[in-house]
A and B are shown apart, each in its own frame.
Chain A
């Protein structure tokens, strides 16, 4: 039974990875994740320096593109236009990826044979988490490139962070993405072929959670934040995964 489950999950994962990496949307998302911080940092430093002469509201330090120390969220550019924007991109990608299964009728092939809804939800969560991880890492790389081009400071102490804190922050952010992945996945199982419904629902849910992100994943994150996200993210995903499973089992698939 257990071996059968592993076998099924392995083939489902193989299919989902194969699908994801042959999907243009994933490369667009990766490209956007890499280009977004470069554009934000370069453009805002130009506008801040040339047009207004003020830099306080814009980026002065490259690490501001990753987050803020202390986890406070303000309504300025650095809080609104940092790595946390990626959670919305992740949610949209989840909806595109899962919605395509329903729109193409692929779920008919999948669920009439041996695939189980649990395998489907689990496999999608894992694959989309991998995609989200890629997006966050690319954003990080993009922020370094953008910061270099814009001539921003790389001083960690200036923003109240440390190297360890940055690593912990990134780990926390990546695992926190599981929350968004599972929300978008659940809403996609509700919306099915109605892509607009799942995207709008996911974005709305994202807006509600947006203020929580800096608190959970501050720039000077510590062991507590890492533990909270590394265990909390998967737990949350497992809970919502069970809900997705019930939705798939109780509702029609076509």
Chain B
């Protein structure tokens, strides 16, 4: 079953179409990476899903029911932009308010559980305004996790987190996904997203440019041999003739030979042309690179 099904969703602000006939599907249990440039409509779509904005057209279904349905809304946990906390309240009191909103019976126990989950046990008595950006993000996740939601909608939750915070976040989301929780997560940190996402949706100008699974992305991202030589141009030419596709990376100066074996490439260059390879490695097109290429193609 799909946790989210969106059909022909539109949202206009005056003349501007922030979301323009967007359709997407998020299967239950997926970690859906929502990618796009600033202003591509990611946050607006998430706000529409959560009912914080009213759509101008189209439909949003959560587990097959209208997204305004009270039963399905009770299953959502949200972190949109910053956590909605009162700055002068302690973390604990802010969470108590939300627990009361959710009607949780075992509120104290539940708050302790989620704070422990995001490794924020010691911060309960801190005033929210005194927490660092990273702490606030983790508290926001803890908020979203209150009451064991089955769908998490997270807008840029990794922003502001240190390396350890990102690792913890990865662990939490992966663990939740294994337990069947669906996660819709938008982020500009594609390297981080690539480590956890099972599905992707790439937005551009309020439209869905591409929707795919991690396996499909994997298949779309070829492996290549990256190497450095003294005479890059000559090496590229001979490698292209031999292996079909070879190009020079403008930024690193490396030659990339696609669908080839590193040892074979090095032997070929040295054995046939006497070109010595100073560095060689096998790599794969990353999500970031894939995304940049896709965006570049779109612009063309």
Contact = CB atoms under 8 A, between A and B. Distances in A.
B103 interface: yes
A114 interface: yes
A253 B80 CA distance: 12
Contacts of A254: 47, 52-53, 80-81
A108 B144 CA distance: 11
Contacts, number: 87
Main secondary structure of the interface of A (DSSP, over half): helix
Contact of A106 (B51, B78, B84, B96): B84
B155 to A, nearest CB: 10
A53 interface: no
Most buried by B among A24, A108, A254: A108
Contacts of B47: 252, 254
Chain A interface residue count: which class?
A: 20 to 34
A18 interface: yes
Contacts of A231: none
Most buried by B among A11, A14, A24, A109: A109
Contacts of B100: 11, 14-15, 18
24 contacts: A11-B101, A11-B103, A15-B100, A22-B89, A104-B84, A104-B85, A107-B52, A108-B50, A108-B80, A109-B98, A109-B101, A110-B84, A110-B101, A111-B52, A112-B50, A113-B73, A113-B74, A113-B76, A113-B102, A114-B73, A252-B47, A253-B52, A254-B47, A254-B81
B106 interface: no
B70 A111 contact: no
B83 interface: yes
A24 B84 CA distance: 19
A168 to B, nearest CB: 37
B108 interface: no
A14 B93 CA distance: 13
A116 B103 CA distance: 13
Given A11-B100, A22-B89, A112 B54 contact: no
B73 A106 contact: no
A19 to B, nearest CB: 7
Interface in B79-93: 80-89, 93
Interface string A190-206: 00000000000000000
A104 B83 CA distance: 8
Contacts of B153: 112
Given A100-B86, A116-B70, A251-B54, 20 more contacts: A8-B103, A11-B100, A15-B97, A15-B100, A15-B101, A18-B100, A19-B97, A106-B84, A106-B86, A110-B84, A110-B101, A112-B50, A112-B73, A113-B76, A114-B73, A114-B103, A252-B52, A252-B54, A253-B52, A254-B53
